[in-house]
Amino acid sequence: MFKFVDKSSKHLNRDLFITVAGNVGAGKSTFTKLIGEELGFETHYEQVDGNPYLQDFYSNQAKWGFHLQLCFLSERFRQQKNIANNGLNNIQDRSIYEDVEIFARSLYDNKKMAKRDYITYRDLFNDMVPYLRKPSLMIYLDGSIDTIISRINLRGRDMEKSVDISYWKNLHCRYEDWIEEYNESPVLYVNINKVDLVNNPEDVKSVCDKIRSILSI
């Protein structure tokens, strides 16, 4: 159900910051909400509904990918500043690292983002790096591609359901490679094939007990 990996150097003993990572459809927003409520952490969500570029992106990734990624990067950096300065324990829906290392990189590798745009995007992120608050813990929602696609279809966003399955499979492979190399913080793997926070309230308690043990809270 769980796997814990700590490849990072020791982080400073400050207000706690958890970030939740995982593919589209993995359940990050629900996880952030339920775990944040149980732990009493301030919650920060990815802006999906109302995002000015997302629907256009799914219609034409090559045309709108750069715009969408800049929008998400800007949003995530604003969250990072809030998290660093609000003096609270925080939990965040999707990390800033995923935007750069998975989504933008995928667009570039698949010829859907021009080289000059990708360089501009990476340069902007690299300028942000010195100001980023590293997580106390990353929680990675790990699961099969079948589970991911099933959840995407279940939540019923038409713009996602219209996307070819190869797109989700590509992201899934990139996530598996990325999380193995990630070393900015300790990582708690949560198997979403076995953990169901919505239908099994005891799973919320089990996850939170594991987090409390790792973070000594």
Residue showing tokens 């990918």: 65
Looking at the DSSP assignment, which residues form a beta bridge with residue 87? none
Known active-site residue 93: yes
Q: Dihedral sign, CA of 102, 74, 156, 59?
A: negative
Residue 135 burial (C-beta neighbours within 10 Å; 0-12, 13-18, 19+): buried
Contacts 24+ apart (CB under 8 A), 163-172: 163/58, 168/23, 168/24, 168/25, 169/145, 170/106, 170/110, 171/23, 171/24, 171/102, 171/103, 171/106, 172/23, 172/145, 172/148
Which residue among 15, 49, 56, 93 is the active-site one? Answer: 93
Tell me which residues are annotated as active site. 93
